[in-house]
Amino acid sequence: MAQARTSQEIAADFATGVAAYDAGDFEKAFKVWWELRFEDLAAMRNLGMMLRKGIGTEKNPKRAEEIYLRAAEVGMPTAQADLADMYIKGDLGPPDLAAALPLLARAAAANHPGAQFQLGEFYETGAPPLVPKDLEKARELYAAAAQSGMPEAIARSQFLGPPAAQATANAAPSSNTAPNGAVSP
């Protein structure tokens, strides 16, 4: 009977996969992470990406969806965002915004900058009937993504301006400023 591996053993195996991937040995990375698919969420997410794109293995969007879904269901924001992107781009058939939005919203709520940005785009333009046009919500999402340094989010935030709450806070005088603008003692 096989014995469960320790977290250190799993981490070491995962690192072996990372080293193989970084060295361009994608087949080895895939094999290493495949062995970890029931023990490590990051390995599951990496397998999903490799299956989606056909890196180190045959391209298999349906299998990628299955793996992403398992990782997304236990709350991995990267898997949620990647699976949402598959649905939005139609990797599995016609684009499916209804399936993508809950995943994108959960990933954005978990501070995944790519999900925040992508959801911000939907609120900026609207995607009736599923997403109403809401520039304030778009500003909030872009500002959140911009805090991670995402260039596209920084550009959209600069173009649309800050969220109302931030703009109000920036415009309010500080508590130690007298009405005439002089600093109180």
Boundary (domain end) residue, out of 87, 103, 119: 103
- Cα separation of 143 and 163, whole Å? 7
Residue at 176 is within a domain: no
Long-range (24+ apart) CB contacts under 8 A made by 128-134 are 130/97, 130/98, 130/101, 131/97, 131/101
Give backbone dihedrals phi and psi of 174, rounded to 5 degrees, phi first: -70, 160
Please give the pLDDT value at position 177: 43
* Of 51, 82, 103, the domain-final residue: 103
How many domains does the structure of the chain reveal? 2
Are residues 140 and 69 both part of a single domain?
Answer: no
* 97 and 18 within one domain: yes
**The pLDDT value given to residue 185:** 40
Report the amino acid identity of residue 27. Answer: E
The residue whose two tokens read 């415009």 is 171
> Is residue 129 located within the same domain as residue 99?
no
Residues 89, 118: contact at Cβ < 8 Å?
no
Alpha helices in the chain (DSSP H): 7-22, 26-35, 41-53, 61-73, 77-89, 97-109, 113-125, 135-146, 151-160, 164-171
One pLDDT digit (tens) per residue for the chain, 185 residues: 557 889 999 999 999 999 999 999 999 999 999 999 999 999 999 999 999 999 999 999 999 999 999 999 999 999 999 999 999 999 999 999 999 999 999 999 999 999 999 999 999 999 999 999 999 999 999 999 999 999 999 999 999 999 988 766 666 555 544 444 443 34
pLDDT score recorded for residue 168? 67
Q: Measured between alpha carbons, how far is residue 122 from residues 62, 139, 147 in Å? A: 25, 11, 19
Looking at the structure, tell me whether residues 87 and 135 fall in a common domain. no
Please tell me the predicted confidence (pLDDT) of residue 182. Answer: 40
Structural domain of residue 117, as residue ranges?
Answer: 111-163
What's the CA gap between 57 and 17, in Å, rounded?
14
Asked whether residue 178 is domain-assigned, the answer is no
Report the pLDDT value the prediction gives residue 4, as an integer from 0 to 100.
Answer: 82
CATH of the domain at 72: 1.25.40.10
